[in-house]
Amino acid sequence: MEQNNRIWWKEAVVYQIYPRSFKDSNGDGIGDLCGIISCLDYIKSLGVDVIWLNPIYASPNDDNGYDISDYRAIMKEFGTMEDFDLLLREVHARNLKLILDLVVNHTSDEHPWFQEARKSRKNPYYTYYHWWPVEQETPPLRPSYFEESAWTYDLHTRAWYLHYFSRKQPDLNWENREVREAVYDMMRFWFDKGIDGFRMDSIPLIAKDPAFPPIDRKKYPDLFSSYAHGPHLHEYLHEMNREVLSKYDIMTVGETPHTNADEAALYTDESRKELNMVFHFDHMHLDYDENGKYATNRVPLVALKKVMTQWQDKMHEGNGWNSLYWCNHDQARAVTRFGNDSEEYREISAKMLGTCLHMMQGTPYIYEGEELGMTNADFTKLEEYKDVEALDIFKDFTERKGFSKEDTLHLLHLKSRDNARTPMQWDASENAGFSEAQPWIRVNANYKKINAENALADSDSVFYYYQKLIALRHELPIITDGVYELLDAENEKIYAYLRKGEKESLIVLCNFTDETVEYEVDESVKAERSKLVISNYKDAPEKFASKITMKPYGAYVYYTK
Ligand code: TEU
Ligand code: CA
């Protein structure tokens, strides 16, 4: 709702919960809704405004809930619909908002629609999915994100069905109006319960050309990028907005792989009435190599600045809105990947990363445990990995790409999605206070040191630093509204930028290295009456000076009015 021209989701900070790994309340080793309820005061104390839950719907859990067998029921491991209703009430009672994951590119193969569909070609649900009948010979090349091929042959129908993800995640046919109506109906069901929005999974992939023409390999060397932005995509989103979204005071964020900043404007430009914002992947791709995500590269700072700046500029010009994130349930831990998780620099670099992101324009997303500076998992054996993607990568790299077992395990350690899925570290008791039973996935051995209880007892912790960053965003409108301007684009060590308002400005200086850097800020930047509003070093200079000694992973923010 716009109040005095302000829009709540533009000023909000979102906290993302991966329910399976957050808090177990009934001792089965799996996180659940009652566990989340018991931690709401902790989340509230961080100062965030919105909670986003990864999928909580009935699911056989081939992909931890991203394979849904009933959109209107709660996954039995997570609790009941009564538990959900209580959670929603408790969230609202704390003046927080709740958004859910909308996964409608595909269902589970155990969803009744697919169970019906695969009975025969004449079944009314057959056209809810994409099929390639055997008479047309082998289906056109379409790789799956989690398997070699995105086509799996079905004996009953004598046809292959399409699944961009695992074979237990058949893709829905959005060309079919009945499918769209069924999705909109389900969305209304949740909005009528009072939820405050959706994060929309894989949303650029929903639209497909049912003829599946050959992929132009010159245009799409990695093939997957051809999956985004199929025919009628924006018509569907516009229709969804008209029929459902526009009727409620809610927020939407599309997860948009394979989407550049120009394309993102098509989703988020307010006048187009589609989505509020999207999660882009451009900064996630900077450490990829010819084998994609599973690579040993570090992210080069100059390139990082370039893509972040592009998105800041494009969303601002295009009348869109950014979402800001360093990590989520699909990515390595931020401090390990972009900072430094050594004993010496873990906390200081986690705070620097938080500063660099939270002072930008957009809505920041904090992934559970990021506020503690949680690190990548410390798995050494393949058996410790649970993720369908990790198991597929292991197979692909060792059997098809010729990597050794050790090298592949090292790549999984760097990039596996399970790095983000180890149990939330609550305290130093057994299983990190996550569960009384053995957790479904192993706890990181560093939990005795890195945990919420320790963080709450230490006024200098990453937790309290994030609390301060969030409070600043709520206090200073310039963080929401100010125009972003990058300084010193080619500097390989320092990320320096301005936020400019009509009468105010912010100077944000972040050292991405473990070295002390004598830094000279561009001479055009004048800030005589500035004051330091946040820094991860206690002895940071109170007044801005154009020559500044930037300590290792130092972050300094000056505000001028
Ligand atoms: O991810 C979609 C997506 O683009 C993935 O390819 C993602 O890039 C990959 O997991 C990174 O390694 C979404 C969800 O976030 C993910 O958890 C699901 O597995 C996937 O959709 C299927 O629903
Ligand atoms: Ca449980």
User: What confidence tens digit (pLDDT) does each residue in 250-309 have?
Assistant: 999 999 999 999 999 999 999 999 999 999 999 999 999 999 999 999 999 999 999 999
Output the pLDDT for position 5.
Answer: 65
Our answer on whether the CB atom of 71 is closer than 6 Å to any ligand 1 atom is: no
Q: Which of 63, 255, 347, 488 is catalytic?
A: 255
Q: Is 201 a catalytic residue?
A: yes
Condensed to tens digits (0 to 9), the pLDDT of residues 457-498 reads: 999 999 999 999 999 999 999 999 999 999 999 999 999 999
Our answer on whether the CB atom of 103 is closer than 6 Å to any ligand 1 atom is: yes
Q: Is 2 a catalytic residue?
A: no
First to last CA, the chain: 29
Give the pairing of strands 547-550 and 517-520: antiparallel
What does the block give as tokens for 507? 């100077």
| Residue type for position 319 | N
Round to whole Å and give the CA distance between 162 and 165.
Answer: 9
Task: Please check whether residue 215 is in contact with residue 191, taking contact to mean a CB–CB distance below 8 angstroms.
Answer: no
Q: Classify 518 as helix, strand or coil.
A: strand
What does the block give as tokens for 189? 């069901």
Output the pLDDT for position 4.
Answer: 52
Ligand 1, atom 16: closest residue by C-alpha: 330
Task: Please check whether residue 202 is in contact with residue 224, taking contact to mean a CB–CB distance below 8 angstroms.
Answer: no
DSSP 355-422: HHHHTSSSEEEEETTGGGT-------SGGG---HHHHHHHHIIIIIS---HHHHHHHHHHH-GGGGTS
Q: Which residue stretches of the chain have pLDDT < 50?
A: 1-3
What does the block give as tokens for 453? 């209880």
Our answer on whether the CB atom of 126 is closer than 6 Å to any ligand 1 atom is: no
Beta-carbon neighbour count of residue 394 at 10 Å?
Answer: 20
Give the pairing of strands 151-154 and 159-162: antiparallel
Output the pLDDT for position 6.
Answer: 81
Round to whole Å and give the CA distance between 217 and 233.
Answer: 22
Angle between helices 405-415 and 388-395 (to 10 degrees): 150
Half-sphere exposure of 262 toward its Cβ, with a 13 Å CA cutoff?
0
Output the pLDDT for position 500.
Answer: 97
Give the position, in ligand 1's atom list, of the atom nearest the Cα of 165. 22
| Residue type for position 331 | Q
Beta-carbon neighbour count of residue 537 at 10 Å?
Answer: 17
Give the pairing of strands 151-154 and 547-550: unpaired
Our answer on whether the CB atom of 330 is closer than 6 Å to any ligand 1 atom is: yes
Q: Which long-range contacts (CB under 8 A, 24 or more apart) does 187-195 make?
A: 187/102, 187/240, 187/244, 188/244, 189/71, 189/72, 190/100, 191/244, 191/247, 191/248, 191/250, 193/85, 193/88, 194/88, 194/92, 195/88, 195/98, 195/99, 195/100, 195/250
Output the pLDDT for position 527.
Answer: 85
Closest CA to 313 of 234, 352, 356, 260: 260
| Cα-only R_g, the chain | 23
Round to whole Å and give the CA distance between 55 and 284.
Answer: 22
Give the position, in ligand 1's atom list, of the atom nearest the Cα of 106. 23
Task: Please check whether residue 37 is in contact with residue 86, taking contact to mean a CB–CB distance below 8 angstroms.
Answer: yes
Output the pLDDT for position 306.
Answer: 98
Our answer on whether the CB atom of 78 is closer than 6 Å to any ligand 1 atom is: no
Round to whole Å and give the CA distance between 82 and 88.
Answer: 10
